[in-house]
Structure 1
Amino acid sequence: MSHSASDIDVRPITEGEFADWQRAMNTGFLRPPTLSPEILRARRRTFAPGRLLGAFDSGRCVATFRSFAQELTAVGGGTVPADAVSNVTVSATHRRRGLLTRMMARDLAAAKERGDVVATLIAAEYPIYGRYGFGPATTAAEWTVDVPRTGLDPRRAGPDDGGRVDLVDGEDVRKFGPELHERLRRAQPGAVSRDELWWQVATGAVRFNEPWTEPFHAVYRSAGGEVEGLVTYECDDTWGDAKQPLNTATVRGLIATTPAAERALWHFLCSIDWVARVKSGYRAPDDLLPHLLPDPRAARITSQADWLWVRLLDVVRALGARGYEGTGALVLDVVDPAGLTGGRYLLDASPQGASVEPTSRAADLTLEVGELATLWLGDDSAVRLAALGRVREERAGAAREADALLRTSRRPWCPDMF
């Protein structure tokens, strides 16, 4: 017999409770509950005291929540410390009892106390996290490329810019991948940091799941020999009538620090014998991919949705950390029902920097903290949100001025799932 919500204990788990917590997490995600000793041992590497929360009913874990330290790149290349939220589940037997609300409130309060500027997550379902002050801040799109329609010359031998594409192994990726990713994320708003464990899991050195399928890795080196791009992909084994190969290459991840590297790696994928389709993995919605092909219509969007969600924990530091291409001043009345960072703030910004401070001046825009998060990374439009009733314009023209200050030339993108 289950107890009332007030009898359910929500608290950080101990290391000895990790197996029970992991079983509850798998159950919530509709995965087989029991893990092999080897996989459980590997996953214990994610344990950090105080950062894994559980809800316990009669000693059994029925809800899970994990956060970890992360850095998020803001517009202009500045970074902010983030509280990355993951592994959020509530067992089907314990829904609608406020367990997620209790875990979220506890974690966000701790993040605020630590000095994190934002919290981040990838939302499995859209309606859940807005009520906690999160807003969708990036979008992801996946393309499927019909290789025979691309118009690429099947006889081409490789990049024509003096660079080269080479196959490498997971051990090689662990050596040069982190530095390459650092160069990318420092220039890409919405990108997040990766620790050593991320690279070990991505290359199979540490296995969180069975069975493990080893992918292929290819690297682009410039004419000067510098690593500028990396793609990890896998291929299926599909054949059609009359013994025609119809294989699909599915990209697990592609990062590039130059357009030349992007072009070379996409062209390489479309040149692999037997590959008739390429699935791009989740990319920025304004990715260059379609227009790197002679016929852009060979690439069609097969999935597009919100991706990274952001919750501002410190409006002053968040707005001060990003860059601005224009010059202007706005008074933002930020509504935060949780009381973490609400208030009225004067943003005075220019390409040389920005000052943000509390003010008693009349507001130009009124918006909830989740809507400000949506605007903070530069992806959405204040004019659009005002039309949807999610931003209130207190002074005529203020939403358009906000767009001129906050929107970016290229859309933000988060390459990672966490």
Structure 2
Amino acid sequence: MTSRDGIDVHPITESEFADWTRAMNIGFLREPTLPEEIVDARRAQFTPGRTVGAFDGGRCVATFRSFAQELTVVGGAAVPADAVTNVTVAPTHRRRGLLTRMMARDLAAAKDRGDVVATLIAAEYPIYGRYGFGPATSATEWTVDVPRAGLDPRRSGPEDGGRIDLVDGEDVRKLGPELHERLRRELPGAVDRDELWWKVTTGAVRFHASFHEPFYAVYRSAGGEVEGMVAYTADDNWGDAKQPLNTVRVKWLTGVTPAAERALWHYLCSIDWVVKVRSGWRAPDDLLPHLLPDPRAAAVTTQADWLWVRILDVVRALEARTYQAAGSLVLEVADGDGLAGGRYRLEASADGTGSCVPATGSADLTLDVAELAVLWLGDESAVRLAALGRVREERAGAARQADALLRTSRRPWCPDIF
């Protein structure tokens, strides 16, 4: 696709990958040129037809990549998703419609493939709403002031009969995939992790010139089952009077039981010399603060939108998830790109299942496809969106009914960035 100003947008070839990688680094304000071995390692992410670049005079000036993903929805089912990442436009080529061209091409291909949704993690908030994406989950980071937490400094391990062991990257690659699968089957908003993810996170494959190996710890229940795992780093900071003032930073923590989460957080807060623990990105209703005797010791450091979703197939999206109550709702969905718009009747049964069909009767709610994505995983309130003018009630009480059907008891969360 060549525009009138001569900029060509096309799926790149392997021979263009190094130039594409340089353009991506420039867009993200990273060091432009990477060592050849790092570029070669990154070729493992290259998917023909789904790694796209914009070229001006033979030089790559914008980048875009998507890959196959599975997204867990409310109730535990997984739907095929088009995961969008590595989106950049060079500062010399902004406001020329390059992202719009690349996005339109990718979403049309995803629709043709049968993907139910597209997903991304937005570096900037204002960009992706115009393409039908809505912020469907959020994330929170806490900083724990360890001396204030109220934990017994004499503790030696979990009090439930379980144990915590330090392990290495090879152990993580063996034990981590099954543990994550257990988590994501129960967690709306979670996505799958392929073998490459585990190799990159443990340094077996290196995408960066400098890889700092983290510490890894595993929690095993009293029965010996692996129920939790954490990767973390620590700095080396000492005060003027020779006091240790070190901070642990959690890269990721997976717990499939509350006992595992409790044991791992207490472990991190018990490490000698550590006075602060940065939690990394967690669910906004994470248990962490209330796993401490003094929840105020865990202060919110950052809270922001996280996983953005773009619905491509309304019927399959609404039928894939489960519902909190029985009821019927007619939705008028607006989609300026013509991918998923229309009027749909959702029928939810008492057993939690739902059916969705095109409708001809009067709508109960009118909303943009981006707002439907915000409601779909159960994190947002239709009543709240109506108050903000982002959802319009066509029937009195319809927004409250939508909340009764769609909202979840625990908030959805995506543990990953991609």
- TM-score, normalised relative to structure 2: 0.99
Quick check: 2:326–2:352 contact (8 Å CA) kept in 1? no
User: Is 1:249 matched up with 2:274?
Assistant: no
Quote the residue 1:124 is aligned against.
Answer: 123
Cα gap change, 1:75 to 1:155, in 2 (>3 Å)? same
1:177 to partner: Cα distance: 0.2
SS in 2 for 1:243: coil
1: distance between equivalents of 2:239 and 2:300?
Answer: 24
Higher mean alpha-carbon deviation, 5-14 vs 116-125, is at: 5-14
SS in 2 for 1:7: coil
Amino acid at match of 1:326: A
2: distance between equivalents of 1:228 and 1:5?
Answer: 57
SS in 2 for 1:44: helix
Amino acid at match of 1:83: D
1:4 to partner: Cα distance: 6.9
2: distance between equivalents of 1:325 and 1:386?
Answer: 20
2: distance between equivalents of 1:11 and 1:38?
Answer: 25
SS in 1 for 2:271: coil
Quick check: 2:143–2:279 contact (8 Å CA) kept in 1? yes
Quote the residue 2:389 is aligned against.
Answer: 389
Quote the residue 2:113 is aligned against.
Answer: 114
- Matching of residues 149-188 of structure 1 within 5 Å: 149-188=148-187
2: distance between equivalents of 1:398 and 1:255?
Answer: 38
Structure 2 unmatched runs, 5+: none
SS in 1 for 2:261: helix
Quick check: 2:134–2:310 contact (8 Å CA) kept in 1? yes
1: distance between equivalents of 2:311 and 2:10?
Answer: 24
Amino acid at match of 1:256: G
Quote the residue 1:95 is aligned against.
Answer: 94
Quote the residue 1:346 is aligned against.
Answer: 345
Quick check: 2:26–2:32 contact (8 Å CA) kept in 1? yes
- Matching of residues 22-41 of structure 1 within 5 Å: 22-41=21-40
1:352 to partner: Cα distance: 3.8
1: distance between equivalents of 2:24 and 2:361?
Answer: 47
User: Is 1:369 matched up with 2:369?
Assistant: yes
Quick check: 1:332–1:365 contact (8 Å CA) kept in 2? yes
| Same amino acid, percent of matched pairs | 77
2: distance between equivalents of 1:223 and 1:329?
Answer: 46
1:80 to partner: Cα distance: 0.3
- Matching of residues 143-292 of structure 1 within 5 Å: 143-292=142-291
SS in 2 for 1:197: helix
Quote the residue 1:63 is aligned against.
Answer: 62
Query: Any idea what the Cα deviations from partners look like across 1:299-345, whole Å, max 9, x if unmatched?
Result: 00000000000000000000000011211100000000000010000
1:6 to partner: Cα distance: 4.1
Quote the residue 2:81 is aligned against.
Answer: 82
2: distance between equivalents of 1:99 and 1:9?
Answer: 9
Higher mean alpha-carbon deviation, 347-356 vs 307-316, is at: 347-356
1:274 to partner: Cα distance: 0.4
1:5 to partner: Cα distance: 5.2
SS in 1 for 2:185: helix
Higher mean alpha-carbon deviation, 282-291 vs 351-360, is at: 351-360
1: distance between equivalents of 2:299 and 2:13?
Answer: 47
User: Is 1:9 matched up with 2:4?
Assistant: no
Amino acid at match of 2:355: S
Quick check: 2:325–2:352 contact (8 Å CA) kept in 1? no
Structure 1 unmatched runs, 5+: none
2: distance between equivalents of 1:173 and 1:71?
Answer: 22
Amino acid at match of 1:362: S
- TM-score, normalised relative to structure 1: 0.99
2: distance between equivalents of 1:266 and 1:50?
Answer: 43
1:105 to partner: Cα distance: 0.1
Quick check: 1:5–1:97 contact (8 Å CA) kept in 2? no
Quick check: 1:334–1:342 contact (8 Å CA) kept in 2? yes
Paired residues in the alignment total 416
2: distance between equivalents of 1:5 and 1:172?
Answer: 54
Q: Quote the RMSD (CA, aligned, Å).
A: 0.9
Quote the residue 2:297 is aligned against.
Answer: 298
Query: Any idea what the Cα deviations from partners look like across 1:231-263, whole Å, max 9, x if unmatched?
Result: 000000001121000000000000110000000
Amino acid at match of 1:33: P
